[in-house]
A and B are shown apart, each in its own frame.
Chain A
């Protein structure tokens, strides 16, 4: 896992997730086709595009919830959809997901939500788990909220709690579905800072679906742009560079809020 792959020219840049010729479809309706891009270790990778272009659907294909119509998803060198159930389990253990509305289990308290992955997949004792749970909640600014049920929290708090759960197993990769949606500007900014901090201090690879420009430019260092009309990706790379240097008017227009 930590060994440097000799095939790479630059030893600091390692492909963490590779998407190859991916096409996504609901039945006969193709959502996006021929997606090819690489997410490197330590990237904060943004999946962006207009509403309804299939950003969240792409995320669901990467995290193994939806099977691609064609194409492959690689985690390092493991082809997810060609792996057996055991290897798929192992790959899943390496990432955490923060869903759009939190997706906390509503019948459990916050502490139980975060403790569940820990008690299922580690040998830790109850006391150690409860310490870890309190620590993760403190990290996302929810210290002392252990015994709250998700329905007793505001939308923003639910999102943060969901992030705490996603971080429970200290994953190598964190996926965010619309992290800033529904948050006030200050909370959204704090979440952005937290994301940057996680990448810097833990080296976590971050993949985020978002169309909030402020967030895209603050945190993203790599991205893919999905286009609704042509149903494929039309750009990939650093969002700031794309804004200033992209030759595609659709990309520039999106990243400049329609102002050229």
Chain B
């Protein structure tokens, strides 16, 4: 180990001067060092210390073994010599080394500027990110317009899409999501009931847990939690599917056939979420109520019948309608975010990852904003009476 970490470079190099203006470098031993590059500095020190030297030459013992490390060492040395106008005589090197050095020198170094990974300053990065955001807005609007047109074609029966695939998507989006939606909304209902009941118990008003859990779950939280789950599940899947199709040129194949990717790919996905989200939201609300019952009966000594009656009194049609309407709206937003990012995807594996991330972020942000805006709007419209 010590030999690898601290090899004796001195024993590998030896210097002599066949005449006053020439430095001959003798290479010895093994130049196949593991993990370590032999330093070129000792030679450079030697060269810069004597001003007489005008050229360097090499000699090496037949037993000297070498690999790329020797080549790197030599090319560094040659570069130094070129910069300092020293002549390099390579005759003493093994023939293979000379050929490889010539080959490396023969291809010109082209300073290619890649689109990525340039080291901008923080300020200019913030600036260009902002510009990108602003530049992305028309694309998003165009996409929205195109999907509206596609909806119109669907309604008038002119859209081309694959019915079998639509049902497959529908199943992926809806029934397949039931386990996770059940789990999350059950636990959220549980937390809500427990936290609410602890407060209400102080006034002896535990019975109002039913109102709290029922209205909150059916009207707001059921759809919101469902939307967040579906963004991570389905929105991400949409972006990854369409992004991969973009990478494989499958979307180009649709375009060249004159089949609109909007009709064929985006519309079934949008429609599937629009159909499934209100149902999933409703289901989440009901599961939340069940969690409320379990907590109330087991922890706060209410009877199932009492809780059931109180829930019926608390909930009316408006609550269900608002919850399902919100679910539908979130479904539209999630589907558009997922499909937009997928269609915009670049042509690499990394781009698919970015598209997926971006679909989830865009989806969640737009869902939460929509949730706040609709809540305030409905209240201003006087649709927030509780009884």
Contact = CB atoms under 8 A, between A and B. Distances in A.
Interface of B: 160, 162, 165, 244-245, 248-250, 252-253, 255-259
B226 to A, nearest CB: 26
A127 interface: no
Given A65-B255, A65-B256, A106 B245 contact: yes
A103 B165 contact: no
B97 to A, nearest CB: 26
23 contacts: A63-B256, A64-B255, A65-B255, A65-B256, A88-B258, A92-B257, A93-B258, A95-B256, A96-B256, A99-B253, A101-B248, A101-B249, A103-B250, A104-B250, A106-B244, A106-B245, A106-B250, A107-B165, A116-B162, A117-B257, A117-B259, A120-B257, A120-B259
A206 interface: no
Contact of B250 (A64, A96, A105, A120): A105
B160 A120 contact: yes
A74 B255 CA distance: 18
Nearest to B248: A103
Contacts of A117: 257, 259
A100 interface: yes
A97 interface: yes
Interface of A: 60, 63-65, 88-89, 92-93, 95-97, 99-101, 103-107, 116-117, 120-121, 165
Contact of A92 (B160, B165, B258): B258
Nearest 10 CB-CB pairs, A to B? A103-B249, A92-B258, A103-B253, A99-B249, A89-B258, A97-B256, A103-B250, A63-B256, A120-B160, A105-B250
Residue from B160, B165, B255, B256 having most chain A Cβ neighbours under 10 A? B256
Contacts of B165: 107
B85 to A, nearest CB: 32
Given A104-B250, A106-B248, 7 more contacts: A60-B252, A88-B258, A92-B256, A103-B252, A105-B245, A117-B257, A120-B259
Contact of A105 (B253, B255, B256, B258): B253
A204 to B, nearest CB: 16
A50 B131 CA distance: 35
Contacts of B255: 64-65
Contact of A97 (B248, B253, B259): B253
A64 B257 CA distance: 11
Contact of A65 (B162, B244, B250, B252): B252
B254 to A, nearest CB: 8
A88 B249 CA distance: 20
Contacts of A105: 245, 250, 253
A103 B162 CA distance: 18
A41 B252 CA distance: 25
Nearest to A85: B258
A95 B257 CA distance: 8
Nearest to A26: B115
B237 to A, nearest CB: 12
A60 B258 CA distance: 14
B335 to A, nearest CB: 18
A104 B254 CA distance: 10
B357 to A, nearest CB: 22
Nearest to B255: A65
Contacts of B162: 116
Given A101-B248, A103-B248, A107-B165, A64 B256 contact: yes
A83 to B, nearest CB: 13
A243 to B, nearest CB: 26
Nearest to A98: B253
A231 B78 CA distance: 35
Contacts of A106: 244-245, 248, 250
Given A63-B256, A64-B256, A92-B257, A100 B250 contact: no
**Candidate in A60, A65, A97, A103 with the most chain B CB atoms within 10 angstroms:** A103
A106 B241 CA distance: 10
Contacts of A104: 250, 253
A107 B255 CA distance: 17
Nearest to B165: A107
Contacts of B256: 63-65, 92, 95-97
Give the interface centre of B165, B244, B252, B257 by most chain A CB atoms within 10 Å: B257
B93 to A, nearest CB: 28
A226 B163 CA distance: 44
Nearest to A97: B256
A137 B320 CA distance: 54
Q: Which of A96, A100, A116, A165 has the most CB of B within 10 A?
A: A116
Find the residue from B244, B249, B252 having the highest chain A CB count within 10 A: B249
Nearest to B241: A107
Contacts of A121: 258
Q: Which of B162, B245, B250, B255 has the most CB of A within 10 A?
A: B250
A99 B254 CA distance: 12
Contacts of B160: 120
Contacts of B249: 99-101, 103
A107 B258 CA distance: 19
Contacts of B250: 103-106
Nearest to B247: A101
A100 B250 CA distance: 11
